[in-house]
Amino acid sequence: MGRMEGKVAVVTGGGSGIGLAIAERFADDGARVVLVGRRQPRLDAAAARIGRGACGISADVSVEEQVKAAFDHLDRVDLLVTCAGGAVFGAIDVLPPAEWRRLFAGRFFGQLSACHYAVPKMPPGSAIVLCSGIAARAAVNEYAGGAALCGAVNGLGRSLAVELAPRQIRVNVLSPGLIAGTEIENNLRREEMQVFWDDTIAKIPAHRAGTPKDTADAAYFLATCEYVTGVVIDVDGGWTAA
């Protein structure tokens, strides 16, 4: 019997990439997985791939009312992992600030909203894993707003770890580096993304991009180690150490 047997795990952004890998890992360990994302056909395909009672609920996490409606379907949440979001690149004097606000709407306020509606349904012993990114610690060119976002999520996680400790709910943050196969939407052209990819790999001591499985391994640790709360784990191949 797995450590997650009988637990309900909600994974936002669970239809592909990092979220899907985490959902599969949790389901393999016995959790009943609920996937949340914008595209119902993708969620249905992911749930069918996972099996074991997995299901999908369509919601845009940047819209609070849709987040609330998603959690209204659930009586209990034992594990919450918030992976939904995208990326926006641009020079500070060129990219309209509205683009950063849209990024924050999904990747910061979407995670905050998920916590707001999940926590009342979480029993003692539950765990939350937020998702930020190594841009909070490693300088990424023309990604100032994204760096601020990642730092905000890290701060949110640490604060919630203290706030929710009396309710025996642990909170940690997963901070991915360069991860292949995520299908994260961004505003770079294909050739621009290739240059960014090649330049970044050259900086990484591991000399490769990570995989969704790498992040799922870290998320499983954060979700199951009962003496870990309030930490940010960089899954970056050593990028932030270089």
Where do the domains of the chain lie?
A: 8-234
- Provide the 3-class DSSP secondary structure of residue 170: strand
Q: Does the pLDDT value for residue 239 go beyond 80?
A: yes
- State the amino acid at position 154 in one-letter form: N
- Sequence-distant (6+) residues with CB within 8 A of 229 are 161, 165, 170, 171, 172
Q: What band does 193 get if pLDDT is binned at 50, 70 and 90?
A: confident
pTM for this predicted structure: 0.95
Among 76-90, 160-174, 198-212, which range has the highest average pLDDT? 160-174
> How many residues are listed for the chain in this entry?
242
Q: What is the mean pLDDT of residues 83-109?
A: 91
Q: Where do the H-state alpha helices sit in the chain?
A: 17-28, 40-50, 64-72, 97-107, 109-118, 144-164, 190-203, 212-224
CB atoms inside a 10 Å sphere around CB 235: 22
186 pLDDT band, cuts 50/70/90, is low
Q: Show Cβ contacts of residue 80 under 8 Å, excluding neighbours closer than 6 positions.
A: 9, 10, 114, 115, 118, 122, 126, 127, 128, 129
Q: Which two tokens stand for residue 164?
A: 């929710």
> Is 190 a residue whose pLDDT tops 90?
no
Q: Are 126 and 79 in contact (CB under 8 A)?
A: yes
pLDDT exceeds cutoff 70 at 188 = no
CB of 233 closer than 8 Å to CB of 174: yes
Tokens 């309209």 belong to residue: 96
Rounded to whole angstroms, how far apart are CA atoms 230 and 215?
A: 18
Of 88, 169, 175, nearest to 130 by C-alpha is 175
CA proximity to 222, closest of 172, 187, 175? 172
Q: What is the pLDDT of residues 110-123, one digit of tens each?
A: 999 999 999 999 99
Instruction: Answer whether residue 89 shows pLDDT above 90.
Output: no
As a whole number of Å, the end-to-end CA separation of the chain is: 40
Per mean pLDDT, which range of 44-48, 54-58, 74-78, 86-90 is the poorest?
A: 86-90
Looking at CATH, the fold of the domain delimited by 8-234 is given as Rossmann fold (3.40.50)
For residue 115, what pLDDT is reported? 98
CB atoms within 10 A of CB 12: 28
pLDDT of residue 198: 86
pLDDT higher than threshold 80 for residue 222 = yes
How far is it, in rounded angstroms, from Cα 126 to Cα 81? 11
Q: Sorting pLDDT into bands at 50, 70 and 90, what band is 84?
A: confident
**Percent of all residues in the chain with a pLDDT value above 90, rounded to a whole number:** 84
